[in-house]
Amino acid sequence: MRYYRAGMRIGFQREIQYRVRAFLMLFGFMIEPTIYLVVWTSVADAQGGEIAGLTTGTLAAYYIVWTLVRVYNLAYAPDAWEWRIREGRLNEFLSQPIHPFHRDFTFFAGAKFVWTLAWIPVAVFLTLIFDPVFDWAVINVVGFVIALWGGFIVRFLMLYALGMINFWTTRGSAIFGIFIASELVLSGRLVPLELMPHWISDIAAWLPFKWTFQFPIDTFIGRLSPQEIVSGIGFQAFWSIVLALVFVLVWNRAIRRYGAVGN
């Protein structure tokens, strides 16, 4: 626990020193949801102000909250393991008395507080333009905070476990591309799953992607009952345990294949 406090503090301090970079990075992330927001609110307006039960206000709220969820879902990219292995940077981490997982997890967790501060003015700007409809019920706000961190944990574990592929291949980019494409369709990142064919929604309910994106968003904007919020947090806990076990099993085999290279 002392390491986690120190690691998160380091992540926070590093990002606060480079706050302009953090803001510019966040601004770049805003482009994607803003495009989705303009497109789908225009479609809803063309169909009388509603599409698949989603009003323009709900769609605006969805994509504005989407921007914060995207910030919290930032994690260590799988293809970054290529660089670590190729350049021998993993040697440094393996010589330290703590697993690299904790080093990366605490850094990203601490950095999110700075990214959240940078997100606030952007969210205010989008709110003034698109007039979203939020539900500020206590259960939604509290559930959202839990779901936000739960989604980060699930996605971090997914990407970290996927990064282990680099111990068996020098280029895992194609596999990572398939992962990102699957996430776009099955998570609610591209569009709310209600706008997808029903069979995609059915598949998404049993995979981890939805619980990292659409579930936290739906929690905050009031589209879920208290029972559904508790159930969703339970799914996040389930996938966190499963993915953690997968990572541990794969890591124990992957590290045996590692040969020190680089400087």
Residue range 17-52, pLDDT digits in tens: 777 777 777 777 777 778 888 888 888 888 887 887
What tens digit of pLDDT does each residue of 59-81 get? 889 999 998 998 899 888 888 88
* Residue 108 · residue 193 · CB < 8 Å: no
Element (H, E) at 99: none
pLDDT of residue 261: 59
Average predicted confidence (pLDDT) for the chain: 87
pLDDT of residue 263: 54
pLDDT of residue 262: 54
Out of 88-102, 118-132, 139-153, 187-201, the most confident range is: 139-153
With a pLDDT cut of 70, the percent of the chain lying above it is 98
Query: Of 179, 163, 156, whose CA–CA distance to 107 is shortest?
Result: 156
Identify the three-state secondary structure at position 51: strand
* Residue 187 · residue 212 · CB < 8 Å: yes
Q: Which residue has the higher pLDDT, 219 or 120?
A: 219
Sign of the torsion formed by the C-alpha atoms of 34, 127, 213 and 49: negative
Token pair listed for 114: 């700075």
Token pair listed for 11: 């992540």
Residue 214 in this model has a pLDDT that exceeds 90? yes
What tens digit of pLDDT does each residue of 229-252 get? 999 999 999 999 999 999 999 999
pTM: 0.90
Average pLDDT over residues 9-13: 87
> How many CB atoms are located within 10 Å of the residue 123 CB?
16
* Residue 73 · residue 213 · CB < 8 Å: yes
Residue tagged 């596999």 (tokens): 175
Min mean pLDDT across 24-33, 90-99, 153-162, 189-198 is at 24-33
List the beta strands (DSSP E) in the chain.
Answer: 50-51, 54-55
